[in-house]
Amino acid sequence: MDFDVIVIGGGPSGLMAAIQAAEKNKKVLLVEKGPKLGRKLILSGGGRCNVTNRLPVEEIIRHVPGNGRFLYSAFHQFDNEDIILFFEKLGVALKEEDHGRMFPVSNSARSVADAMVARMEKLGVTVYMKTPVKSVLYENGQVRGIELADGQIKQAYSVIVAVGGKSVPRTGSTGDGYKFAMDAGHTITELYPTEVPITSLEPFITKRILQGISLRDVSLSVLGKKNKVVVTHRMDMIFTHFGISGPAALRCSMFVNQVLRKQELVWMELDLFPDESAGEVQKNVVQLLEENPKKAIKNALSPLLQEKLLLFLLEKAEINPENHYKQESPKKWEAFAALLKKLCFYCEWHA
């Protein structure tokens, strides 16, 4: 045999697998088809890499879309606290942010990738770069090695397939693993995206009116049949040139997909002030306006929202931002306050 273990793929899973095998004194080969290791990892978490989450395992499983319970056995062997320890041992100190999210103190996803690559090199793992694997080889029902795209064969007692899924294929994950799994006799279920940004053809999105506006601690809901709330996530989000992104949007994306299987569009609802009732929001708006009766509405309400968003919502409520408070009817103020609690827009998938 050429190696004890061959790892296919140099993303975080492959790097981690190679390190673990080499720590157990195995002779390891890692084969990566791209020119760099950890390309997707470097992009992750907006370039900061949300390494793991410190909430209790039950809580994490509750947030996994679909059947999260299948993760119990994996977590039993290696859970979020083990990940934190793993990176601390590599010299990557982590810090906790909102909702238990753990990031490197360096705020750099690259530092996470670099630490893993350095450890792998120190352990003497052989690495082939720019080397696509064509197939996994079997003999008498047992794995025997791999065939590279150029026809070379490398033998091993174990092969670990860590080639990622299908998202962001420019980072190397082009779905080769599904073929490897099918060759091994597995059935592939229908594939769908999750934890992805969501696109919208709403005119305010296509005209990029709110592009770049980021919102802290808002409630984003996915609406299903008869406008029933399917799920709500209270986190940060951002309006982009194609739709919405940020933690709240990513968490909602799986549920958007579920609804889209039954209908062409999915409606979403944004609550900008989730801690206040509709009545309280309206009271606060009126109070701001009454405290500043001579100011133009857009200035009187400036403490409430970022200017672009404020102007957008005033226009939606048909309120002239240059007017003074009393020049607009109470009905319009009611409509404006309602928008702050319930801004509805439709979405489709990110192609």
Ligand X SMILES: Cc1cc2nc3c(=O)[nH]c(=O)nc-3n(C[C@H](O)[C@H](O)[C@H](O)COP(=O)(O)OP(=O)(O)OC[C@H]3O[C@@H](n4cnc5c(N)ncnc54)[C@H](O)[C@@H]3O)c2cc1C
Could you list the residues that contact ligand X (CB under 6 A)?
A: 8-14, 31-34, 39-41, 43-45, 49-50, 132-133, 162-164, 167-168, 171-173, 176
Closest distance between ligand X and the C-beta of residue 180, in Å?
A: 8
Q: Is 119 left (phi over 0), alpha (psi -120 to 50) or beta?
A: alpha
Closest distance between ligand X and the C-beta of residue 141, in Å?
A: 23
Q: Cα–chain-centroid distance for residue 273?
A: 23
Closest distance between ligand X and the C-beta of residue 275, in Å?
A: 27
Q: Which is nearer to ligand X, 21 or 133 (CB)?
A: 133
Residues 205, 345 contacting (CB under 8 angstroms): yes
Total Cβ atoms within 10 A of residue 39? 19
Q: Which is nearer to ligand X, 31 or 313 (CB)?
A: 31
**Contacts with 318 (C-beta within 8 Å, 6 or more apart), sequence order:** 332, 335
Closest distance between ligand X and the C-beta of residue 150, in Å?
A: 12
Q: Cα–chain-centroid distance for residue 109?
A: 14
Closest distance between ligand X and the C-beta of residue 34, in Å?
A: 4
Report the distance separating Cα 327 and Cα 293, nearest Å: 10
Closest distance between ligand X and the C-beta of residue 308, in Å?
A: 25
Say which amino acid occupies 101. R
Q: Which tokens sit at 171?
A: 């980072």
Closest distance between ligand X and the C-beta of residue 84, in Å?
A: 13
Residues 342, 269 contacting (CB under 8 angstroms): yes
Q: Which tokens sit at 347?
A: 């979405």
Q: Which is nearer to ligand X, 32 or 114 (CB)?
A: 32
Q: Which is nearer to ligand X, 204 or 242 (CB)?
A: 242
Q: Which is nearer to ligand X, 133 or 337 (CB)?
A: 133
Closest distance between ligand X and the C-beta of residue 117, in Å?
A: 12
Checking DSSP bridges between strand 28-31 and strand 126-128, what pairing results, if any? parallel
Half-sphere exposure of 127 (CA within 13 A, CB side): 24
State how far the alpha carbon of 28 is from the alpha carbons of 21, 31, 55, in Å: 7, 10, 34
Q: Which is nearer to ligand X, 108 or 299 (CB)?
A: 108
Q: Which is nearer to ligand X, 106 or 292 (CB)?
A: 106
Residues 148, 133 contacting (CB under 8 angstroms): yes
Q: Which is nearer to ligand X, 133 or 248 (CB)?
A: 133
Q: Which is nearer to ligand X, 133 or 218 (CB)?
A: 133
Say which amino acid occupies 349. W
Report the distance separating Cα 94 and Cα 73, nearest Å: 25
Q: Backbone phi, then psi, for 332, in 5-degree steps?
A: -65, -35
Say which amino acid occupies 157. Y
Closest distance between ligand X and the C-beta of residue 101, in Å?
A: 8
State how far the alpha carbon of 302 is from the alpha carbons of 10, 239, 288, in Å: 49, 19, 9
Q: Which is nearer to ligand X, 169 or 279 (CB)?
A: 169
Closest distance between ligand X and the C-beta of residue 83, in Å?
A: 10
